[in-house]
Amino acid sequence: MCGIFGYANYNVEKTRGQIIENLVEGLSKLEYRGYDSTGIGIDGEHEFGHSAVKAIQLYKQVGKVASLKDEIKSRNPDTAEVLPNHVGIAHTRWATHGGVSQANCHPQPSGDANEFIVVHNGIITNYRELKTLLKTKGYTFSSDTDTEIIAKLFKFLWFDGQVCLLP
Ligand code: GLU
């Protein structure tokens, strides 16, 4: 069991600080569903000249939501930055695969560039087979969770497989 919370807006200006506050507040209400570790991921759009650039930020910590708050504070995010379009996901974990560690906290990323990030409730029963397959395709893993498979499988299907939803 775990707690999953999401917060998204299109064309509604919120500061990074407000988004973080909403996600953390949502997690505190779900703390009873998973209490060994927590994490949030924020996908905000920034204007750079004429183009919008996506940059996903992850904040994770073992322990209660209070520890996550400390972790966020220590990373000193730009809380004043205004993000008109944003998606945030949040998770309180109850570990089933992989011990309680920062690397095993959700969201789990598809790679260093965070192309996809995943929060997950439950167990992926065939994760070993999928992990073996992805390793043969050159993927490396930074956690012991079953969840990381989903993020890496998305990346494999999106960039290296047959799935292409872009025009
Ligand atoms: N199986 C996943 C993990 O151990 C999710 C556990 C949960 O539902 O919190 O990371």
Per-residue pLDDT tens listing for the chain (167 residues) = 789 999 999 999 999 999 999 999 999 999 888 789 999 999 876 665 666 666 899 999 999 999 999 999 999 999 999 999 999 999 999 999 999 999 999 999 999 889 899 999 999 999 999 999 999 999 999 999 999 999 999 999 988 765 555 45
Annotation: CATH topology of 3-159: Glutamine Phosphoribosylpyrophosphate, subunit 1, domain 1 (3.60.20)
- Which ligand 1 atom sits nearest the alpha carbon of residue 120? 5
- Verify whether residue 164 is a known catalytic residue: no
Helix, strand, coil % (nearest 5) of the chain?
30, 30, 40
Mutate to test the pocket of ligand 1, among 33, 117, 146, 150 (most ligand atoms within 8 A of CB): 146
Identify the residue whose C-alpha is closest to ligand 1 atom 8.
121
How many whole angstroms separate alpha carbon 165 and alpha carbon 167?
Answer: 7
Distances (CA, A) of 23 to 6, 124, 131, 140, 155: 7, 25, 30, 29, 25
Q: Which residues line ligand 1 (CB under 6 A)?
A: 1-2, 34, 93-98, 120-123, 145-147
For residue 89, the CA-to-ligand 1 centroid distance in Å is 15
